[in-house]
Amino acid sequence: MESGAGVVAAFVEQRDGSVRATAHEVVGAAAELARQIGGEAHGLAAGGPGFGAACASLGARGAEVIRVAEGAELAQYQSEGYARIVADMIAGGGYRAVLFPASALGADLAPRVAALLDVPLASDATGLEVVDGGLVVTRPVYGGKAFARVTFDASPAVVSLRPHVFPPGTHAAAGRVEAFTPAGGAPPAGRVVEFRAASGGSVDVAEAEIVVSGGRGMRGPENWGVIEDVRDALGPTAALGASRAVVDAGWRPHAEQVGQTGKTIAPKLYFALAISGAIQHLAGMRTARTIVAVNKDADAPIFNVADYGIVGDVFEVGPALAEEIRRLKSESGG
Amino acid sequence: MNVSVCIRRVPDTETRIRVGDDGVSIDTSGVKYIVSPYDEFALEAGLQVTEGLGAGEVTSVTVGDAGAAESLRNSLAMGAHRAVLLEGEVTMDGLATAKALAEELAEADAPLILLGVKAADDDQQQVGPMLATLLARPCATAVTRLEAGDGHVRCHREVEGGTEVVDLPLPCVVTITKGAYEPRYATLKGIMAARRKPLERRPAKLPAARLRVLELEPPAPRPPGRIVGEGVKAVPELVRLLREEAGAL
Ligand SMILES: Cc1cc2nc3c(=O)[nH]c(=O)nc-3n(C[C@H](O)[C@H](O)[C@H](O)COP(=O)(O)OP(=O)(O)OC[C@H]3O[C@@H](n4cnc5c(N)ncnc54)[C@H](O)[C@@H]3O)c2cc1C
Ligand SMILES: Nc1ncnc2c1ncn2[C@@H]1O[C@H](COP(=O)(O)O)[C@@H](O)[C@H]1O
């Protein structure tokens, strides 16, 4: 359809042909915004042949229309090519706002699209509201030590959303899939020569619903079994994290680092085990929904942000925690 | 090969942030400034590239007020050869900043442009790929290590679910995240030498910001947490609370 003034677009992130959970959140947020301004939500997607069929499911998340560019060369994300296609979709669409996930892919894509469209971008939003007809975005700044409420003097408003903060959409819409044919002319691009998947198919700290992090109080990498045991008890949606002290000591890879110079995450549940809670660590995890801390020092600053804390030795509390979680899960059959 | 490194002056990450009287910016009294941490990684990467090749100069570039010259001096003390201060008022509109940098760097003889992945004040994570787009150059983001090759740079990237190796044809733009680079300290000799290195100043060609801060506020206080108890005996109660009260398990 030719879009009216109230259409909000949402970029649909995929990997290996599957729609990612971030898309459920971004489409949900677009639908909610569209509802407030009296419009509708559209999905914008690119993927390999047949990806359109996978996109129909986004109707259940609130997408009225999903525009999909398909092609063998689009099966894997490619910065320049995707940016060009998504910008083309937006340029003719008359959208009020365009939402991206602030995932690793979204952080790579959204700035390029904004630059191609010549409009500003508000990254990593934790709040969206309509005030007097205008879009107001809330976003953390200074490592989460302040929040800015910002608005746009340009259209469309381009925003990326912090993963896990916005609920997946639940109000169904038509979910009509429309093919989009990209204009030719490939921009200059890099060439991927190798991809190494993280070991053991484990969940990435940036996308996990639950994160179990260990700090210097673990005393050495040989003790990480304690942290892994808690993670394993929590199940396949849990990931390992680490403080910078641990990463700099070479105990854990930097892909696991949480904080100012690591990942910024907002999981449903965060465990800080033997982590003191330095301001730069908090920068990475203070927007987690529920924070649990185990530390032998009752005055550790982590207890100022933790919802629940246990003062005690991680080498005793950790294994007991894993066991109790397993017991509870087997009791409730899940 | 010459390398340009874009650096930004930001409040020290330890600094307490207070909202200023205007309600839209921070109270800068008593704030100590540093070169944004990721930009130090980028600078280190740039220095290692030119040292590795045994050729080329590193130029540090910043858009900022007169005070930002201090950050440029720091970069010169670390080993950058020259510095450029583009004077102007930095805002949260990263596209405006990218345009000012593009004006400067489009004509510069620097096949490789390095930036931090994210500035520690506005946390926008956008200027690098925007600059690349404006210059019509390829770009790799969140790179932990790079190797300069013949006509290209090989970039090791952290992506969700693994590590990716990408070859970018030169000229290109790369944003650096924490990884292989440990920023060097400025030596006394370096600090002395920095005084004699060229630091150019010119007005930034900075368009008006179109992302407007309406309000800056402290983070909403988290509901007061509680110590469930001490040691192993507190564990069952903790797990019960996580399930029944927090709905997190
Ligand atoms: C520019 C900059 C950027 C930074 N970025 C980051 C970042 O991204 N992420 C990050 O994490 N840090 C970052 N830091 C570092 C940060 O300031 C802290 O140094 C770091 O977070 C400390 O890590 P830690 O909590 O593991 O170690 P520590 O501060 O040493 O804390 C260890 C804790 O373990 C407890 N403990 C010890 N033994 C036990 C036991 N047996 N049982 C239970 N508890 C025990 C101790 O009481 C203590 O609280 C940064 C610093 C700077 C300057
Ligand atoms: N005012 C500036 N001057 C020079 N470089 C900047 C400026 N602002 C941002 N950058 C660069 O862009 C990166 C990302 O910043 P941001 O997009 O603001 O998070 C920073 O790490 C710097 O390398």
pLDDT in tens, A66-99: 999 999 999 999 999 999 999 999 998 899 999 9
Min Cα distance A162 → chain B (Å) is: 12
**Residue ID of nearest Cα to ligand 1 atom 48:** A276
Runs of H (alpha helix) within chain B: 37-53, 69-78, 94-105, 127-134, 188-194, 235-244
How many angstroms is it from B8 CA to the middle of ligand 2? 5
Q: How confident is the model at residue B158 (pLDDT cuts 50, 70, 90)?
A: confident
pLDDT tens, residue by residue, B10-20: 999 999 999 99
- How many angstroms separate the alpha carbon of residue B103 from the centre of ligand 2? 15
DSSP A61: G
Q: What is the pLDDT of residues A69-78, one digit of tens each?
A: 999 999 999 9
Q: Once rounded to an integer, what is the mean pLDDT over residues B96-112? A: 97
Q: 0.90 cut: is pTM over it?
A: yes
Q: What is the DSSP letter of B66?
A: G
| pLDDT of B159 strictly over 90 | no
Q: Does B13 touch chain A (CB under 8 A)?
A: yes
* B151 at A interface, C-beta within 8 A: no
Top mutation candidate among B4, B5, B6 for ligand 2, by most atoms within 8 Å of CB: B6
pLDDT of residue A1: 37
Ligand 1 lined by A244 (C-beta under 6 Å): yes
Rounded average pLDDT over A137-164: 97
- Asked if residue A3 has pLDDT above 60, the reply is no
Lowest mean pLDDT among A144-153, A199-208, B129-138, B169-178: A199-208
* Closest CA–CA distance from residue B201 to any residue of chain A (Å): 26
Confidence label for A189 from pLDDT (cuts 50, 70 and 90): confident
Of the pLDDT bands very low, low, confident and very high (cuts 50, 70, 90), residue A196 is confident
Query: Residue A200: which pLDDT band, with cuts at 50, 70 and 90?
Result: low
Distance from CA of B176 to the nearest CA of A (A): 11
Q: Which ligand is nearest to the CA of A256?
A: 1
Q: Answer whether A318 contacts ligand 1 (Cβ < 6 A).
A: no
Give the pLDDT confidence score for residue A185 in this predicted structure: 67
Nearest to A145 among B219, B225, B249 (CB): B219
Q: How far apart are the first and last CA of chain A?
A: 44
Record: contact A261-B138, CB cut-off 8 A: no
Strand order in the sheet with B58-64: A191-197, B162-169, B152-159, B139-148, B172-176, B112-116, B3-6, B58-64, B82-87, B199-203
pLDDT-based confidence at residue A47 (cuts at 50, 70, 90): very high
* Mean pLDDT confidence for A16-43: 96
Read off the pLDDT of each residue in A304-326 and give the average, rounded to a whole number: 98
The confidence band for A193, taking pLDDT boundaries of 50, 70 and 90, is confident
Q: What are the start-end ranges of the E strands in A81-199?
A: 97-101, 121-125, 127-131, 134-141, 146-152, 157-161, 176-179, 191-197
Answer yes or no: is pLDDT of B87 > 50: yes
Q: For residues A44 and B8, give the distance between their C-alpha atoms in angstroms, rounded to a whole number.
A: 34
